[in-house]
Amino acid sequence: MNKITSVIFLFTLSIGYSQSLPIDFETTITTSDFEDFDGGTATVIANPQASGINTSSTVAKIVRNGGAVWAGSKLKLASNLDFTTMNTISMKVFTTAPVGTVVKFKLEGTGATERDVQTTVANEWETLKWDFTGEPANFDYLVFMFDYGNVGDGSAASTFLFDDIEQLFGGTQIDLPVDFEGSTVNYTMSDFGGNISTLMTDPTNAGNMVMQVVKPNTAATWAGTTIGTPAGFATNIPLTLSDSKMTVRVWSPDAGTPIRLKVEDSNDPTHTCETETNTTVSGNWETLEFDFLNQAPGTELLSVGLAMGWTYNMASIFFNFGTDGATAGEKTYYFDDVKFGEPELGVSDYKMEGLTAFPNPAGNQWTVTSNNQAITLVEVFDLQGNIILVLKPNAPVAIIDASNFADGIYVSKISTNSGISAVRLVKKTIN
């Protein structure tokens, strides 16, 4: 009789640990399936908040009371998760904790990986999503850490309900060029240092999608946005010493704003290269060129990284790098059209909002004309944001002497009585 009882007990234990997604807590999982740690206690209970998007009968609850800032609980799965196509995990969450509470979703098995998402509501159910694009099929534990970073006190604000854990297709992995127009591409950004990014319609063009980046007054000097998930791009950025440039179209409220672009290896964050340039216009779009041969001070040379065999498959952009939000105040930026290589050239004329600069590229000079308006001011900047020429023609035509300019790309800010526009100028010695 004792032998039979033992066999039944072992069989029941095995079934209890053979979980797979989706999990809705209605039938298979009980309180005993959870493995609590460091001050977290999980139970399976009748849904005390059956409303809104979740009227199911049964949910899970974790109460954090003392212990560590990472207190929580975890569940063992029957097999490793595969993120090849189903790259996102979603879960319904209810909490009375303040909006912005961090919910860390960690996966364990052979190694570990984790993602953080913040709550956006309080006192109602919401669906949160964690993107694991590019992660290997190494993980068979789901680890739940609510209000990560704080010690729980057992109160209502330290009590979390969750339900309906499932794996979803979150879109194909992002890759260059990035234009935010793909209907099946995963455009999840990875913010850090306090940045807040949102995919939205271009406020200057209803037919265009762009990424908005808010750098709030709480942001750090190094606040930035990784263009994609922590997996980076689907393919490596083909940087070489002879092909070392990327371009990004940006909108900034201020001219002279330092914009930094960093490339790195998603598998080794010590393998990086950074470069920086400044915006030249305010309240308008412009395309900035980033040359990784001109590395930012204190960062590694591209030549050194390439010599050591480093590869780069991730890029992060930093707006107003070096200035924190408290100093600058909250600022909103936009970016679009992230590309590898130099800007597309080969056109003889460049037109923008009634302005024409020709020839372009030019060997010795550009002639800028305006349609029936006087050009009141011409300012020419290099790609580091340094002003190198100022003209006040007060006429519909302005001549920009390029004979003393080095070959390369410049940006001119053209002012007329009706507004200000930016014109890209290309100096190319004609042999």
What pLDDT is attached to residue 13?
Answer: 39
Tens digits of residue pLDDT in 395-417: 889 999 988 888 888 878 888 87
In this structure, are 145 and 6 located in the same domain? yes
What pLDDT is attached to residue 168?
Answer: 93
In this structure, are 210 and 324 located in the same domain? yes
Parent domain of 407: 350-427
Residue 162 lies in a domain: yes
Are 381 and 289 in contact by the 8 Å Cβ rule? The answer is: no
What pLDDT is attached to residue 18?
Answer: 58
- The reported pTM is 0.64
106-115, 200-209, 285-294, 341-350: least confidently modelled range? 341-350
7-16, 189-198, 229-238, 355-364: least confidently modelled range? 7-16
Mean pLDDT on 364-383: 84
In this structure, are 408 and 272 located in the same domain? no
Residue 419 clears pLDDT 80, i.e. is over it: no
In this structure, are 327 and 365 located in the same domain? no
**For residue 346, what pLDDT band results from cuts at 50, 70 and 90?**
very low
Residue 256 clears pLDDT 60, i.e. is over it: yes
1-5, 225-229, 285-289: least confidently modelled range? 1-5
**Residue 132 is part of a domain; what is its CATH number?**
2.60.120.430
Residue 359 clears pLDDT 90, i.e. is over it: no
In this structure, are 264 and 318 located in the same domain? yes
Residue 183 lies in a domain: no
In this structure, are 237 and 296 located in the same domain? yes
In this structure, are 216 and 298 located in the same domain? yes
Residue 242 clears pLDDT 90, i.e. is over it: no
What pLDDT is attached to residue 413?
Answer: 81
Residue 1 clears pLDDT 90, i.e. is over it: no
Residue 297 lies in a domain: yes
In this structure, are 155 and 67 located in the same domain? yes
Residue 73 lies in a domain: yes
In this structure, are 116 and 34 located in the same domain? yes
1-5, 136-140, 365-369: least confidently modelled range? 1-5
Mean pLDDT on 373-387: 80
In this structure, are 200 and 281 located in the same domain? yes
In this structure, are 260 and 299 located in the same domain? yes
What pLDDT is attached to residue 385?
Answer: 66
Residue 227 clears pLDDT 80, i.e. is over it: yes
126: closest CA among 91, 150, 159, 97?
Answer: 91
Q: What is the largest CA-CA distance in the chain?
A: 105
What pLDDT is attached to residue 384?
Answer: 64
Mean pLDDT on 239-248: 92
Residue 176 lies in a domain: no
At which of 340, 359, 389 does a domain end? 340
Residue 181 lies in a domain: no
Residue 184 lies in a domain: no
* Number of structural domains the chain divides into: 3
Residue 55 clears pLDDT 90, i.e. is over it: yes
Tens digits of residue pLDDT in 19-47: 889 999 998 899 999 999 999 999 999 99
Mean pLDDT on 413-422: 76
**For residue 14, what pLDDT band results from cuts at 50, 70 and 90?**
very low
In this structure, are 322 and 409 located in the same domain? no
Residue 178 lies in a domain: no
**For residue 8, what pLDDT band results from cuts at 50, 70 and 90?**
very low
What pLDDT is attached to residue 430?
Answer: 63
**Residue 356 is part of a domain; what is its CATH number?**
2.60.40.1930
Residue 231 clears pLDDT 60, i.e. is over it: yes
What pLDDT is attached to residue 10?
Answer: 36
At which of 340, 358, 384 does a domain end? 340
Mean pLDDT on 259-263: 98
What pLDDT is attached to residue 262?
Answer: 98
At which of 276, 307, 340 does a domain end? 340
**Residue 221 is part of a domain; what is its CATH number?**
2.60.120
